[in-house]
Every structure is written in structure tokens, then in C-alpha cells.
Amino acid sequence: MKNWMAGRKIAAAVVASAVLVFAAACGNPTGQSGPAAPPSSTKSQSTGANPASSQLKGKITVSGAWALYPMMVRWSEEFQKVHPGVQFDISAGGAGKGAADALGGLVDIGMVSRDIFPVEIEKGAVYVGSAIDAVVPTANPANPYREQLLANGVKRQAFLDIWITGKATNWKDIFPAAKVMGKTELHVYTRSDAAGAPETWAKYLDKKQEDLLGTGVYGDPGLAETVRKDPLGIGFNNIGFAYDSKTRKQLDGLLVVPIDVNENGKIDPGETFYDTLDALTQAIATKSYPWPPARELNLVTSREFKGVTKEFVKWVLTEGQQFAPEAGYVPLAKESVRKWLEIVR
């Protein structure tokens, strides 16, 4: 079962529909809410804003975390309104890719939705926080234990039994007192790519990504789509791939699994913040939702942020923060902004 690197076969089977999941999560003028750019790459061009507003010119290349991709697209669009001479080339692919690309000099900024590893710092990684989001456990709305999931939530120990020890192989192992007929085996999914979401979810369980059990699936959209197709499945996603940024509701076909934070066997009024994106982000900001799996999302470069990239990162940490809530993210705290600006300056 411990095959998080073996999921690319499943990913290939769901790649087309996975793009639709991504689009629904982020805003798209085609009828579904999703970004105008495809999930693998976007090349933003000049918006025609007032050219007198800035003399900045250049191109900023970005790759990495799926978690940050929708926010980065929005930031690039807003930045170009005041700096039309700056172009962006943005691609997703996972936090591991973002870190490697940045350290290898392939991109100016790597989007990394996890802690920066000591070995990456030794190789010259310089990073700042940019916004806050979280990883949430996800199931299928047709799950035979839907009622129990919503009323009782899932305790941390149960998540450990699902993803770490492997003791939970049936939904009955999670809810032994429930009377449910039909198939109840538990299908566990994780990520096959080195990424921030699995690393952060594993950190919540005091483990590393490689410790997670389950069938590996490539990418945030792929994992979301796999769970959408499996009534007995359980996975995890960044909130941008579990909620619609326009309707602020959970995406069709996904059920965000409540975490029983106080471990009392039920979801109390203070834990009922999953219905809307706004309620969840407020819970993240107040730390009613646990940290991890909530976390700061990082922007990484090699050695130092330079030139137009430096100006963009400074803008993200200041003016750019205002766009985080609408995009489904939590802005950085003021003290964090001050800390990160010292690094950029």
C-alpha cells in the first residue's frame, strides 16, 4: 500500500477531468469558475494599463506548488495593471518542482507550499512567506458514512490509522458503531509527486510525505478528481481545489471531512466552519483550524531576489495582500509581513 510514487498510472487516467477540477477551483470565464490559464502554464501579457504608472520592464518566471498557482495568477494580473511592462510565465507542478527549479536557476521564483528543507537552505534557498492556506481531508459526497463524517468528524488518531499505520482498511474501522449496509472498504489516496500538500498533511501526523500510505495520484487536480470518482475514497487537497473561489462553496463531487479538533467524538459548534470558503479561511486565520495542516505558502529563489522579481515580491508582501481573501487565501499577519520585507530589502 505504501506506493506514493506509483500513482502516475491513475494520474494518466484522470488528467483530462482533473483540469476541470482545477478550473472549478480557481475561476474560469468558460462557464465553470476557474482561471483563464490552463493549470500547467500561463503566460500573462500586458493588460493595457496606464503606461505612465511604471517604468518596470522584464519577465518573471515562476513554477511550483499547486496551492499557490491560483493566487500567483491573480497577483500577476494585478501587478501588470500597474506595471504593464512586466510579463509572467507561471506553471504548476508541485512544491518539489518549484524548489528545484528555483535552486537550479530555471525560474526566478519557486512556489513552495511547505517548510523549506535545511538541505535547500544549504544550497542557497532564500524564501519569504506570501499568503496562508490549508490542506483539508476530502471524501466523496456519496460516501456511505457521510452522516457520521459530518456529525462526528474524524479524529487525528483515525487519520494516523488511515495514512500511517494502515490499521484502518474499512470505513467501519472509523465508525464501528454505525450501521451501514453495502460496500464499506476504505480506499486511501495520496500524492505521487513531491509536493507541499502531502508534506503538510504528513506533518500534521508528525511524519513525512514518504510515510503516507495510499495509492499515489499526481497533482492536486488529479487527487481531487480521483476522490470525486470513488464513493469509498479518502484523500486530501489544498483548499483551492476543494472550494469554488466564486461561489465560496465546496466543489461538486467533493466532501471536505471535518476534523474533530477537540477529540470529543462530535463536531461542536466551534468546529463547524467547513460549509463555505470564507468560514474556513476565518478559522485558519484564528487558528481554530489546526496548524498544520494550515501553513504559510513560500516564495523561494536562489541566493537573493533581484531586479523586477524583487519589486514584485515586495509588492506581494504589501499591496498584493489585499487580493488574498477574494482568491480564497488568508493574508499574512502584519508581523510576518515586516519580517519577510526585511529579507527582500
What span, in angstroms and rounded, lies between the C-alpha atoms of 14 and 192?
Answer: 14
Tell whether the model's pLDDT for residue 307 goes beyond 50. yes
pLDDT of residue 22: 43
Place 199 in a pLDDT band, splitting at 50, 70 and 90.
very high
Average pLDDT of 193-205? 97
Place 208 in a pLDDT band, splitting at 50, 70 and 90.
very high
Place 345 in a pLDDT band, splitting at 50, 70 and 90.
confident
Q: Which residues contact 13 (CB under 8 A, 6 or more apart)?
A: none
Average pLDDT of 249-275? 97
Q: Tens of pLDDT along 124-137? A: 999 999 999 999 99
Q: Which three cell numbers stand for residue 120?
A: 535547500
pLDDT of residue 239: 96
Average pLDDT of 268-288? 97
- Domains located in the chain, CATH noted: 25-133+295-344 (3.40.190.10), 135-285 (3.40.190.10)
CB–CB of 234/187 below 8 Å?
yes
What span, in angstroms and rounded, lies between the C-alpha atoms of 330 and 22?
Answer: 20
Tell whether the model's pLDDT for residue 63 goes beyond 70. yes
pLDDT of residue 303: 97
Tell whether the model's pLDDT for residue 242 goes beyond 90. yes
pLDDT of residue 54: 60
